[in-house]
Structure 1
């Protein structure tokens, strides 16, 4: 289990599980998400939400993993642009560590 900070002052945080990171990886949710300027703002979070909603709507099989990710992380009350940036950084480090194992 990992913990990310969801606001700059550090008063809010969120728990991220290994399963959440695997789901992000499985569906490549961060691929092509950020524009060339590299800035993660509320529009990037909105884009992620729309992408996930579209993915769930188009799936014919069970999408419980995506629904859990939505409930626990993406649509969580504390998730804002700062939190998404922290989640992306966590994912990058998690992926790098996984590849070196």
Structure 2
């Protein structure tokens, strides 16, 4: 039977180590980007958002309104900056509105 380590570590450090050792960061980023989109865009845009998908560093957002898609395309770079600022790191480099 192996002995337990007696050194105490904060749970935050343990969770970070677990995420890194199991390569879970990309999955967490996908979930965090969806939440950030919902929080930043509000109900008006979320009602027309049908799908959000993060592939590598590109965020694909499918919208059911062509008018809204055109309107959001004007502020494409600003949306990317707001998302990354909300996430605390640069995850999204490009936004594709479909």
- TM-score of the pair, normalised by structure 1: 0.31
* Greater fraction of residues in strand: 2
Structure with larger RCO (C-alpha < 8 A, sep 6+):
1
Q: TM-score, normalised by structure 2?
A: 0.31
